[in-house]
Amino acid sequence: MKKTIILFFGPPGSGKGTQSDALGQKLNLPVISPGELLRHEEEKRTKLGLLVSKNLANGKLVSDSIIDKILSARLVRPDARRGFILDGYPRNKSQLEWLKKKIKRISKIEDKIIAIHINVSDREVKSRIGGRRVCDCGAAYHLKHNPPIHIGLCDLCGKKLKQREDDKPKIVKERLSHFRKSIKSIVGYFKKNYTFINVDGEQSIKAIELEITKKINELK
């Protein structure tokens, strides 16, 4: 059976999660996000999940070896036999090394391996993330694209809106610089060895989706 393996890359706020899901539905491939897998393990309170919770509670990052273990188990599930879409992985050199070996082990020469890079400028990322506001009730807003009716207050429950810690300018700047630093070698590797697609991420969600589909269809 021919496999299709697709990887999505893009800065925070580039909408790669949304695009992964859309493409997954279109191609009937599971979307695998290590972040979600970790949350799932935590919810189920598995051995690994408890270890993850403990690490996070102590302010530590989840180690690559835990992520790789969880990812390994996910990739052998039956729904990934035709391939899969990876969202949010690899994020650093050690994850890239792991994935290189993994891909070599699980793929054959006739398989399709495609890396998609959603290109968004730092300026646009800052405006997208900087405008996000959330409410304790779960509602989410954007000052520019989806503003609440009354400034600073939730439409649904009237509570005061907040900005997530992660979305504050200083943290966004750190997240961005971390992303730019690690993405170079990762993208370089996929460009050199596999099919690479660059997409303009500063268009509407629908337009990005169309551009991705068009470029994938042109590969055949």
Shortest reach from residue 39's CB to Zn ion, in Å: 22
Catalytic residue among 3, 74, 91, 133: 91
Q: Based on CB atoms, which residue is closest to Zn ion, 106 or 143?
A: 143
Residue nearer to Zn ion on the CB measure, 27 or 143? 143
Active-site residue among 44, 77, 164, 180?
Answer: 164
Given the residues 82, 100, 162, 175, the one annotated as active site: 175
Clarify whether 3 is annotated catalytic.
Answer: no
Query: Which residues does residue 200 pair with via DSSP β-bridges, in sequence order?
Result: 119
Asked if 139 interacts with Zn ion (CB under 5 A), we say: yes
Q: Which of 206, 216, 220 is nearest to 22 (CA)?
A: 206
Asked if 156 and 135 touch (Cβ cutoff 8 Å), the reply is yes
Strands 195-200 and 83-87: unpaired
Q: Does an H or E element contain 66, and which? A: helix 64-75
Q: Can you tell me the distance from the alpha carbon of 164 to that of 142, in angstroms, rounded to the nearest whole number?
A: 12
d(CA 4, CA 153): 45
Rounded Cα distance between 87 and 90, Å, is 9
Q: Which range in 5-13, 19-27, 64-72, 135-143 contacts Zn ion by CB under 5 A?
A: 135-143
User: Residues 1-40: x/- map of binding to Zn ion (CB under 5 A)?
Assistant: ----------------------------------------
Question: How many other CB atoms are there within 10 angstroms of residue 162's CB atom?
Answer: 14
Contact 115, 36 (CB under 8 A): no
By CB under 5 A, name the one of 71, 86, 135, 208 that touches Zn ion: 135
Please, are residues 199 and 15 in contact by the beta-carbon 8 Å criterion?
Answer: no
Size of the site for Zn ion (CB under 5 A): 7
Q: Nearest approach, Cβ of 135 to Zn ion (angstroms)?
A: 3
16 is annotated as an active-site residue: yes
Q: How far is the CB of 154 from Zn ion (least distance, A)?
A: 3
Decide if residue 137 touches Zn ion (CB under 5 A): yes
Contact 157, 196 (CB under 8 A): no
Residues 151-210 that bind Zn ion (CB under 5 A): 154, 156-157, 159
Residues in contact with Zn ion by CB under 5 A are 135, 137, 139, 154, 156-157, 159
Catalytically active residues are 16, 91, 132, 164, 175
